[in-house]
Amino acid sequence: MSAPTKPITKADIQAKLAEIGGEVDEQVASTRQMAITAGAVVLAVVVAGVFLLGRRRGRRLATIVEIRRV
């Protein structure tokens, strides 16, 4: 490693952090939409599963009343 020719200033550090932050922001923005979509799909599957299991249980536990005329 060679020694830097000029001292590192506060502006140099801020510029580098802004550059790194910009790259991270781009990655977060591209990943966020995919995560939201995946979350919505998982939520829909869970809700459908709970609905179907509740429906099945409701049919099993339902009382059947038979009325007969004499």
pLDDT tens across the length of the chain (70 residues):
566 688 888 998 888 888 887 777 778 887 888 999 999 999 999 999 999 998 877 777 777 788 888 7
For the chain, the domain total comes to 1
State how far the Cα of 28 lies from the Cα of 8, in Å rounded to an integer: 29
In a domain, 34, yes or no: yes
Torsion angles phi and psi, residue 9, rounded to 5: -105, 170
**pLDDT score recorded for residue 2:** 64
In a domain, 68, yes or no: no
Question: What is the domain extent for residue 35?
Answer: 28-62
In a domain, 52, yes or no: yes
Tokens of 61: 């536990």
pTM here is 0.52
In a domain, 48, yes or no: yes
In a domain, 15, yes or no: no
In a domain, 58, yes or no: yes
In a domain, 38, yes or no: yes
